[in-house]
Structure 1
Amino acid sequence: MSLDLYLDLGWLPRPPSDLNKIIKSVRDAGPATAEALRGLAQFGLNELQLNKVARALSDARDGGVDLKPLIPLKVALLSNTTTEFLSPAMMATGLRYGFATDLVLAPYGQVVQELLDPQSMTYAADPDVIVISLDHRGLNLTAVPGDVDAAAAGLAASLDQIETLKAAIEQNSRAVAMFQTVARPAEPDLGSLDLGVPGTWRQLTHDFNRALADMLTGTPHLLLDTAGLADTVGLATWHDPGLWHMARVPFSNRVLPLYADHIMRVIAAWRGKSRRCLVLDLDNTLWHGVIGDDGLDGIRLAEGDPVGEAHRDVQDRALQFRSQGVVLAVSSKNDDAVARTAFRDHAEMVLKEDHIAVFQANWRDKATNIQAISDDLALGLESLAFLDDNPAERGLIREALPRVGVPELPEDPALYVRTLVASGLFEATTFSDEDRRRAEDYQSNSKRVALQASVTDIGEYLRSLDMEFAVLPFDAPGRARIAQLINKSNQFNLTTRRYSEADVAAMEDDSGLLTLQIRLRDRFADNGMISVVICRTDGATWEIDTWLMSCRVLGRRVERAILQVLKDAAQAAGITTLRGRYIPTDRNGMVAQHYAQLGFGLVETREDGTTLWSVEVADLPDQEVIGTISRQTAPSA
């Protein structure tokens, strides 16, 4: 069962028996084609089924079908191995994460040639992501048991090889690169002694993988832990010598869907699609039993009880997620007071009431409760994951709220945690102090909501928060967080243009730009960086290229404070006009009237819904800013 969980993508629902019929029907779905394709990919598909879904995507694209709201994504794939079989799997899997993926395949074994040539087909395709899929045979690594010098030389040469490829990509492309760790061969060199002898495959791959991870830390590039994935399913399962000798395929067909899923989930995390909130059921999920029927003493959580310990593991993992910045919420069909009793009074509970940002225990349907949680946290449904032992409840949420991540759970609660983690719903490509604080930030926000409920005047409420805004231009200390916000903000984001960390670094010294990072502190918490603005100079006009804001500060008139900063900076720089653009997506409709509400006039409306707005700086009144603004370094353009 444990191995099948990974090989069959067991956290996803099983494909329906009439899947082939459903795939054929997609061709006649018309305007619903994109959503129909995405729906197909939500099942745990095998290699053959992935190929069929990829063919349906290609047919739709070739037929000129509008694939919105799927996000166009171009991926270049380079390898020392055969990749033709991987392309359809990645295309179909991309649908699972909301991408209409277009694959560009470099010729077999031409990794170095393609990446060192500025005129190569890879660069000509202008990909968003370049995946470098090298296995141990594509590096300068050779097993030399006991030869310390030869092992060190091979390791250094392999790392130099990666550094050269990385530098070439940075020089010749706007793309982010994805490098992968290396799975060692299944066959040991010296048996159990491998770990203690330099130059064995086990030592070589371990040293290379650790150095690769260190090399990519702090860069905009992505790491795919192929070695960890191979270890999880077993090296003997991962490697297929027959396939390698026959077709230079680096792993068995059985692991193809899993490998494709991990590539695409990392890309999805890079594009801000990881979940930020885990919504938890209670009865038979966080504990065994029904607290309303069994009472506080009747639910099972105790150490020494195998079933109780399995449910405690769920709580332990939830608490670990919280320490990584994941917000915890509860959705349970229960009496509120009874449900809270377990958190307050049960000695074996790991989770406490204070760990939960939003607690929805009532007799409404769970779709309604989860929508309420989304609203309370100002997080889109695509940011939520829902854990529930009940297949009927899981099915309801998948049907009513298809953007919520709902891992399928096995009957055995001992496998709940493994399944949740295997789903990759909380995949991360960066991890910062602000990420760690995120759960606390949302916890503080719930206190603000409670305060707002007790105050009848919104102005009085906002003044009571004692807000302090800190405004800085882009700089090196804020670079990683700025890039993270640019790539993860989808709702309050006027243009959803994406920029890498390297792009952000280049903007820091660009005299033709005004760049702003805005941080916010109030009496409840330090909210950290909550907004990013980029303006491009065009004569006496600033074109607002990017304006985004964290949704957790919605309703606090932050945009008015930012507009005042823009006005003051424009006057200081001799700018007479501000021009802003709204580019619609399936997720940023909330800001469609952003510029209208700030006093900008509509200049143009395009067929795709894009609108252009403009205002003369002299016509902008001073904004009523609630709070104080500190310009720690005067922005300039």
Structure 2
Amino acid sequence: MYRTWLAPSGDLAADLRQIVAAEGDPTSEILAMKALANRNHDFASMTRLDRAIGKTLDRGGDIPASFQRERLAVLSTSTSGHLAPSIRVACLGRQIVCALYEPDFGQIQQELLDPGSGLHAFAPMTVLFADDPYSLFGTTGLAGIDDAAGAEAAVEDLVSSLRKRWRTVRTSFNAHIIQQLPFNPFVRLLGENESRLPGSPASLIAAFQARLRAACDEDGVDVIDLAHWSARDGLALWHSTALWHRSKQEVHPRCAPLYGDLVARLLAARRGKSAKCLVLDLDNTLWGGVIGDDGLEGIAIGQGSAVGEGHLALQHYAKMLARRGIILAVCSKNDHATAMLPFEQHPDMALRAADIASFVANWTDKAANLRRIASELNIGLDSLVFADDNPFERELIRQELPDVHVAELSDEPSDYAQILADSGWFESVLLTREDLAKTEQYRTNAERRALLDETTDLESYVGALAMELDSAPFTLLEMPRIVQLINKTNQFNLTTRRHGEAAVRKMLDDPDMVTRRFRLTDRFGDNGLIATVIGALQGDDKQTMVLDTWLMSCRVLGRRVEHAILNVMVDAAREVGARRIIGEYLPTERNGLVKSLYSDLGFSLIDQSDDRSRWLLDCSVYQPHPTSIRILG
């Protein structure tokens, strides 16, 4: 089972020879191999590409600045070594260089509990528990269980044992956890009424899947749902009883590329690397036909047309994505007015103009237009997913804009929505209030830009917005959005330090940590939670507050919000007895816009090197920056 949303693999051997022949530095080679990783390879090709990537990494050198490193421990009760190459390759495709650790077979508990084990030396950032159904339930179910109460107790015991493992991981490593939900490989005892026997393997595993998923939700553990994928694709594709008996392989090698992608997309989502925007072509993508040639009456959408219903299914999927916070954009070679006609007048359209945050229809090449869309929305090119029925346009974008995710749409419009859903580019591990309001926020940003065009200077613009900034310490209620911001914000982010939920929770009870989150409203509406600042009190006298984290959503740039935030943080420092604030700037490929922030805000440079600068602000002589923003809280 390969990754069908990606372009065909091509001649991998020739591609690798070309990369090696170029004799580039390791950084350039990794970028080239990242492009290869985002092709639809089979198991053998994934293994070959993994070896080539490993040789390049072994040469040393810096990884690209936009990439992140990951240490993943795979703790499996079955043979899982054949999955490792696909995990590493899929991670590279999502800009993650992943080091893997797998203990000896059957050594999970020993590795977890022994401080001298290889697992403890590895110090994982993420731990994947891959429990196979045979190890959980045996080959005949849990013997002696023939009533519902006994089955429920047995399931609860199993889930409790797994939760104990999770606690051990968090205590020992403060690592994130992924738990595999097993599929059901067991033969049935009663046939179609299998659920009537509580102790049957099928009944137990169904109850276990439901209870384990609930426990994962309660404990903030991410899930790889093999039950879903095996049900959708067929168990025979994912699992071979012959391979299980011969080598204890739970996942069939042919499914390794997809399994690796399931792991990589979760790691990427936790690191803020999921896509934010779906960019849609129009003719023969959102509808059948060409609006400029066929007119409103001639394009195919909706009921009464098999082709039209397929296109409409894509529209419904896009609308559901928008409701959960994905931005929608249009990129079409068309006259703008003609392209807008179906959105404004066609009765069967599910999408309307109000659903589209950026609508670009002209005769400019699509690579330039995608750059324009990213600029308008103030997001990176790697936040875009491009859906276009035209193979020429798809390949053009792959060549010109390798950071853009390009969906390999089939010749069947009814498949479009499923292809995009399968890709995992929009993978999300949590959903916040701000996500649900994102389309509205981007649309009201256009109204704010219009106001800026009408005003003659920045101060008049800021005053006309009538902004209110609500400040408060971190709370558990807002934890999902706070953690999301910390792990997704790249541009206005002074240090780009990533903190998981467990680490942020610890800050709530630490007297040496000063936390503030900021919500912004204005005359056009609620911008939501837009900034977080974390300060750490240091020194014997605790009179120095070092800013570990200062980040802000780029949606609110250019409104002097940062000046108001500093006013709040100086007051917060004074409240806890700090006399000075030290800010750090750690440069990355993406945060150059805040390079001079501390200088602009009145900090004095303490020291500077290529990879860090430190700045000092004396709270005792600080005068608040004048601002028309009203501070609440």
TM-score scaled to structure 1, two decimals? 0.94
Tell me the amino acid that sits aligned with residue 5 of structure 2.
W
1:561 deviates by: 0.9
Q: Partners in 1 of 2:401 and 2:623 — Cα distance?
A: 42
1:190 positional shift? 2.2
* Alpha-carbon shift at residue 625 of structure 1 (Å): 2.0
Q: What's 2:487 paired with?
A: 487
Q: What does 1:513-524 correspond to in 2, within 5 Å?
A: 513-524=513-524
Q: What residue in structure 1 maps to residue 605 of structure 2? A: 602
Give the one of 124, 128, 143 matched to 1:127.
124
Select which of 116, 141, 144 maps to 1:143: 141
Structure 2 CA distance, aligned partners of 1:430 and 1:227?
A: 20
Q: Which deviates the most, 379-388 or 258-267?
A: 379-388
Q: What is the Cα deviation at residue 573 of structure 1? A: 3.3
**Aligned-partner residue type, residue 486 of structure 1:** I
- 1:396 match: secondary structure: helix
Q: Distance in 1 between matches of 2:563 and 2:365?
A: 38
Q: Match for residue 29 of structure 1?
A: 24
Where does 1:368-447 land on structure 2 (aligned, <5 Å)?
368-447=368-447
The alignment partner of 1:429 has SS state of coil
Contact persistence 2:471–2:517 (CA under 8 A): yes
1:161 Cα deviation (Å)? 1.3
Give the match's secondary structure for 2:499: coil
TM-superposed CA distance for 1:428, in Å, is: 0.9
The 8 Å contact of residues 514 and 534 in structure 2, kept in 1 or not, is answered as: yes
* Residues 140 and 155 in structure 1, CA contact (< 8 A), matched pair in contact too: no
- Name stretches of at least 5 consecutive residues in structure 2 with no aligned partner: none
Partner amino acid, structure 1, of 2:24: A
1:95-132 CA deviation, whole Å, 9 max, x = no partner?
01101110011111222222233443212211110011
Matched, 1:58 2:58: no
1:87 and 2:84 matched: yes
Greater shift, 570-579 or 252-261, is seen at 570-579
Aligned to 1:478: 478
| Amino acid in the other structure paired with 1:136 | P
Task: Deviation per CA, 1:253-283: give whole Å up to 9, x if none.
Answer: 1111101110111111111111111111111
Is the contact made by 2:137 and 2:201 (CA closer than 8 Å) also made in structure 1?
no
Residue 576 (str. 1) matches residue 574 (str. 2): no
Secondary structure class of the residue paired with 1:496 = coil
Shift of 1:529: 1.0
Contact 1:33-1:67 within 8 A present in 2 as well: no
Two-structure CA RMSD over aligned residues (Å): 1.8
| Offset, 1:210 | 1.6
Post-superposition offset of 1:305:
0.5
Q: Which moved more, 1:411-420 or 1:567-576?
A: 567-576
The corresponding residue for 2:508 is 508
In structure 1, the residue matched to 2:556 is 553
The question of 1:105 aligning with 2:102 is answered: yes
**Cα distance in 2, alignment partners of residues 42 and 501 from structure 1:** 30
Which residue of structure 2 aligns with residue 4 of structure 1? none
Other-structure match for 1:226: 226
1:363/1:456 CA distance change after superposition, 3 Å: farther
Tell me the amino acid that sits aligned with residue 332 of structure 1: S
Give, as a single letter, the amino acid of the residue that structure 1 aligns with 2:564: A
How far is 1:289 from its partner? 0.8
User: Which SS does the other structure have where 1:386 is aligned?
Assistant: strand
User: Aligned partners of 2:626, 2:546: CA distance in 1, in Å?
Assistant: 24
Instruction: After superposition, give the CA deviation of every residue in 1:4-32 in whole Å (9 maximum; x if it has no partner).
Output: xxx22111011122x21322444432141
Stretch of structure 1 that moved more, 498-507 or 105-114: 105-114
Answer whether contact 1:75 1:129 (CA < 8 A) is retained.
yes
Between 1:417-426 and 1:399-408, the stretch displaced more is 399-408
Paired residue type of 1:111: I
Residue identity matched to 1:123: H
Q: SS of 1:475's equivalent?
A: coil
SS in 2 for 1:376: helix
**Count of matched residue positions in the alignment of Structure 1 and Structure 2:** 623
CA deviations over 1:331-382 (Å, ceiling 9, x no partner): 1111111111111111111111111111111111112222121111111112
Asked whether the 8 Å contact 2:277–2:384 carries over to 1, the reply is yes
Contact conserved, 2:92 with 2:98, CA < 8 A, in 1? Answer: yes
Bigger drift between 226-235 and 185-194 goes to 185-194
Tell me the CA shift for residue 306 of structure 1.
Answer: 0.1
Per-residue deviation, 1:435 = 1.9
Specify the SS of the correspondent of 2:255: helix
What corresponds to 2:531 in structure 1?
531
Please report how far the alpha carbon of residue 148 of structure 1 lies from its aligned counterpart in structure 2 after TM superposition: 2.5
Gap regions ≥5 residues in structure 1: 1-6, 632-637
Residues 289-319 of structure 1: per-residue CA shift (max 9 Å, x gap)? 1111111111111302000110101110010
Could you say which residue in structure 1 is the equivalent of 2:43?
47
Q: Hey, what's the Cα distance between the residues in 1 that align with 2:530 and 2:303?
A: 42
- Structure 1's 133 and 471: CA in aligned 2 closer, same or farther, altered over 3 A? same
Whole-angstrom CA distance in 2 between matches of 1:542 and 1:338: 57
Q: Cα 1:236–1:187, aligned 2, differ >3 Å: closer, same or farther?
A: farther
Partner of 1:621: 623
Report the AA paired with residue 604 of structure 1. D
Does the CA contact (< 8 Å) of 2:302 and 2:308 recur in 1?
yes
Give the structure-2-normalised TM-score. 0.95
SS in 1 for 2:359: strand
Cα gap change, 1:423 to 1:500, in 2 (>3 Å): same
Distance 1:65 1:53, change over 3 A: farther
> Which letter does structure 2 place at the counterpart of 1:21?
A
Counterpart position of 1:333: 333
Give 1:156's aligned residue: 156
Please tell me whether the aligned partners of residues 301 and 312 of structure 1 are also in contact (alpha carbons under 8 angstroms): yes
Give, in angstroms, the shift of residue 37 of structure 1: 2.1
2 CA distance for matches of 1:401 and 1:173? 38
- Between 168-177 and 437-446, the greater mean CA deviation after superposition: 437-446
State whether residues 23 and 52 of structure 1, in contact with CA within 8 Å, keep that contact through their aligned partners in structure 2. no
Give the C-alpha shift of residue 591 in structure 1: 2.1
Q: What is the DSSP-based 3-state SS (H/G/I as helix, E as strand, rest coil) of the residue aligned with 2:57?
A: helix
Amino acid at match of 1:164: K
3-state SS in 2 of match to 1:169: helix
Within the candidate set 607, 611, 614, 1:612 is matched to 614
User: Which residue of structure 2 lines up, in the alignment, with residue 285 of structure 1?
Assistant: 285
Partner of 1:20: 13
Aligned partners of 1:453 and 1:189: how far apart in 2?
Answer: 72
How do 1:262-281 and structure 2 match up within 5 A? Answer: 262-281=262-281
